[in-house]
Amino acid sequence: MEKLRITVNGRSYDVTVEVLETDENKHSTKKEPESFPVQPLTAISGGKAQANTFKGSTGSSSGNSLKSSSGNSAGKTVNSPMPGTILSIKVNSGDQVKRGQVLIILEAMKMENELMAENDGTIRDIHVSPGQSVQSGDLLITLT
């Protein structure tokens, strides 16, 4: 693992990167990295981005995607795909939602990201409020 500092639009970010191949180990046998079904944010009209969804565990994984997990008693959870600020919540507790329905608008790096439902379900709990800052992986919504 290597620590790097990246500057984007004048803001510095400290990141940890796993080096998979260098000139020193180019010819050595390497273990295949674990892959996750991550879909990047895709731009849509109006300068907004849409966060695509996937099923995965609540364990840490990186990527700009909405994380959903199935827990026995907790139902499905929607976690923040990145640090940002909650601009608006488009659903209420008890609402029935359809797959692809916008749940939350999350502002990150001056972009509005629509976080959508992965499956049909019912909103059980909303764990955030508009204006609240969230970090990557923070619990936003629980569905049943």
**Segment 5-58, tens digit of pLDDT:** 888 888 888 888 887 776 655 555 555 555 445 444 444 444 444 444 433 333
Q: Identify the CATH number of the domain in which residue 125 sits.
A: 2.40.50.100
Instruction: Beginning with the edge strand found earlier in the chain, give each strand of the sheet holding 111-116 in spatial order.
Output: 42-44, 48-51, 111-116, 102-108, 84-89, 133-134
Residue 6 lies in a domain: no
How many domains are contained in the chain?
1
Give the length of the chain. 144
Residue 57 lies in domain:
37-143
Residue 20 lies in a domain: no
Residue 28 lies in a domain: no
Residue 136 lies in a domain: yes
* pTM reported for the whole predicted model: 0.50
Residue 61 lies in a domain: yes
Mean pLDDT of 61-74: 41
Residue 2 lies in a domain: no
Tell me the C-alpha distance between 81 and 61, whole Å: 10
Tell me the C-alpha distance between 6 and 99, whole Å: 36
Q: Which amino acid is at 84?
A: G
